[in-house]
A and B are shown apart, each in its own frame.
Chain A
Amino acid sequence: MPPAANMAEAPLPAPPRAKMVAFPVPGQPAEKMAEKRRPTAPVAGASEARRASPARGLATESEEEFLRQAGVTAMLRAALLKVLEARPDEPLPFLAHYFDNLGLRSPANGGAGEPPGLLLLQQQRIGRALWHLRLAHHSQRTAFNNNVSVAYECLSASGRKKRPGLDGRTYSELLKRICRDGEAPEEIVSPLLRKIQCRDHEAVPFDIFRYGMLTCFVLLEFVARADALYEVLDDSGQADRRVCQAVLDTLEGALLAGDFEAPSRYLEAGSQLGPDCLALAMDRALLARKPSSAMLRDEFLEKAASLFIAKVRPVG
């Protein structure tokens, strides 16, 4: 068990000394960093004073040397850059996950041992690609694009014999993994997969890869939103079919009318889905004197998803 685990579970009383370390951050001198940090940690002032005292100067220097030689500085710098790029809502679990993945990749863990089987290697590559893809939300387009290209490189660097490049089989498997991890129902995602999958032997160029990944992530989010929408419509354990249908029709109207090349179309679609239009449609649906029945969540989600998938351009 590594030392930190000891610290976490059955820790020994550590001597209460606060050793401050100045590890350089990209582009920022340590002093400036400390200054910016002051408001967050009320104790920082005291420790800075200690750090600045000449008696500790020597020790600090050798520590810095140690950190640099052991690769800690570089590792933390990379981690910090990743945090800043992805801006996760909760950076601490993000960092735990980040270092965990880093540890798995290091030569100390399997890399130097027996060469793993081809299948295992493939699984590892897919896992790594998935990890990169999830680092940033797709709405942060620059970070996401970066990660997509890193993932693409991960996957296309294959074994010695094969030529580099990504084949359709791996690409399809990755898509399936994303959908499976998103826990979206099979009947919702399979129409999408049919549209964006490639054949097993085909080479997948980067553009297609990026398009597929992005579409997949957006669909998953769309379905999650639709699920939340159903939650709202369903106020007494059952959602009224007429209201659900009215909402779906409004959504369809907003999505299907015309092409989305012209920027003004986005505004029009947005206004069609605004509270007033939607409320009117729902009102009308409730006024219609038809026998009411319930619409189940799965049906609602499937219908909503099919509206989305209809707009997805098939690849190839």
Chain B
Amino acid sequence: MATETALRKPRRWGGPAASAGRRMLSPDRLALPDYEYLAQRHVLTYMEDAVSQLLENREDVSQYGIARFFTEYFNSVCQGTHILFREFSFIQATPHNRASFLRAFWRCFRTVGKNGDLLAAKEYHCLLQLLCPDFPLELTQKAARIVLMDDAMDCLMSFSDFLFAFQIQFYYSEFLESVAAIYQDLLTGKNPNTVIVPTSSSGQHRQRPASSETSALEGVEASLFYQYLENLCDRHKYSCPPPALVKEVLSNVQRLTFYGFLVALSKHHGINQALGALPDKGDLMHDPAMDEELERLMAQVPGLLTTTTSGTESGCPRTSPRLGSPWRPLHHSRKVDAESDGSTEETEESET
């Protein structure tokens, strides 16, 4: 859906006729059996959740009316704010929820990246738990492993490195489990055709081929790996990255390791776009509307703005003092205090 609209040139005038035109381009959904249509779009997941939310707020609901409650609920689902502070099982229940969570994480903690702070996996995990109290540590660690290439796990990472690795790990979680199994089989010379999509995350990829670490033949052969992945994408019921882009990633190299593959996925511009939750890396810190809103909110909190700008209501963004205070406790001693916008140069440090 998203790509379809993105590919279209903007119409001079749209309206219902234009959207009707788009609707007609995908008539296959009209041919689906009812349950498949509902399942494909997760309608029942949301309806059920709406009802359980309604039951939790029973008293308040009777005051405003049920229809109003459902309106608000589905509006917040559309805006992606419905996942805030919800339990992990709900957050990962649909691709839309996952994308919404990624977006929320980015928008809430963008300031971390903007200040150029480097954090360790544990600290990123604390940030994640602010949005989702029962967020599993395992997932954060897996994302960190992508950034750090499964090495030196207590290293510090830049916000953008972590975010893009986390995106791949979180959004394509089930797909990556299967990929890990295929990789492992290829590495040990087994035929990965027998791979069954794992449903639990226990006991998988501890591969790290200790013997071949120093040899030039580390990892698996890219073209063979792709054959199996293509097959996997075909039959995978969870979200996969677009196969054409996976092919692109794998066609650039002869051989690669599992983490090499994940790093390439996480840095791939097209995969990020196809997923559609986050902006391009270059625009990650760029959100003037949000900045303005933040400045406005900060100005309202007494005591945050020390001295100076109290005279002007509007508050001039450029000259106001650094406002990162909510995240102060997380600042690391290594942090450079000078204004630094880019995370790229620090990225190099974190990877070495």
- Contact of B15 with A183 in the complex, beta carbons under 8 Å: yes
- Contact of B77 with A92 in the complex, beta carbons under 8 Å: yes
Query: Is B249 interfacial (CB-CB < 8 Å)?
Result: no
Q: State how many residues of chain A have any CB contact under 8 Å with chain B.
A: 75
Residue of B18, B45, B96 near A224 (CB, 8 A) is B18
- Contact of A3 with B71 in the complex, beta carbons under 8 Å: no
Chain B residues within 8 Å of A228, by CB: 11, 21
* B1-55 residues at the A interface, CB under 8 angstroms: 1, 9, 11-18, 20-24, 26-27, 29-30, 34-35, 37-48, 51-55
Residue of A43, A100, A140, A184 near B30 (CB, 8 A) is A140
Chain B residues within 8 Å of A17, by CB: 87
Query: Is B57 interfacial (CB-CB < 8 Å)?
Result: yes
- Contact of B13 with A43 in the complex, beta carbons under 8 Å: no
Interface centre among A75, A83, A224 (most CB of B within 10 A): A224
- Mark interface residues in B56-87 (1 if CB within 8 Å of A CB, else 0): 11101111111111111111111101101111
- Contact of A99 with B71 in the complex, beta carbons under 8 Å: yes
* 25 interchain pairs, CB-CB under 8 A: A3-B69, A7-B84, A8-B79, A8-B81, A18-B89, A19-B56, A40-B39, A40-B42, A41-B42, A42-B174, A43-B89, A76-B51, A89-B1, A92-B43, A93-B78, A95-B46, A96-B77, A99-B67, A103-B65, A137-B20, A138-B20, A139-B24, A183-B14, A220-B20, A228-B11
Whole-angstrom distance between the alpha carbons of A87 and B43 in the complex? 11
Report which B residues bind A (CB closer than 8 A). 1, 9, 11-18, 20-24, 26-27, 29-30, 34-35, 37-48, 51-58, 60-79, 81-82, 84-90, 92-94, 96, 133-134, 174, 199, 237
Chain A residues within 8 Å of B92, by CB: 42-43
Query: Is A221 interfacial (CB-CB < 8 Å)?
Result: yes
Report which A residues bind B (CB closer than 8 A). 2-5, 7-9, 11-14, 16-21, 23, 33, 36-37, 39-43, 46-47, 63, 66-67, 70-72, 75-76, 79-80, 83-84, 87-93, 95-96, 99-100, 102-103, 106, 108-109, 134, 137-140, 181-184, 217, 220-221, 223-225, 227-228, 231, 297
**A66 and B87 in contact (CB under 8 A), knowing A37-B45, A42-B92, A43-B92?**
no
Whole-angstrom distance between the alpha carbons of A36 and B48 in the complex? 14
Whole-angstrom distance between the alpha carbons of A310 and B88 in the complex? 59
Chain B residues within 8 Å of A23, by CB: 47-48, 51
- Contact of A33 with B44 in the complex, beta carbons under 8 Å: yes
Interface centre among B40, B51, B81 (most CB of A within 10 A): B51
Assuming A19-B56, A21-B55, A103-B65, what are 5 further A-B pairs, CB within 8 angstroms?
A: A21-B52, A63-B55, A66-B58, A106-B65, A182-B17
- Contact of A134 with B16 in the complex, beta carbons under 8 Å: yes
Closest approach, in angstroms, between the C-beta of A47 and any C-beta of chain B?
8
Closest approach, in angstroms, between the C-beta of B196 and any C-beta of chain A?
15
Closest approach, in angstroms, between the C-beta of A267 and any C-beta of chain B?
20
Residue of B nearest to A4 (CB): B72
- Contact of A84 with B37 in the complex, beta carbons under 8 Å: yes
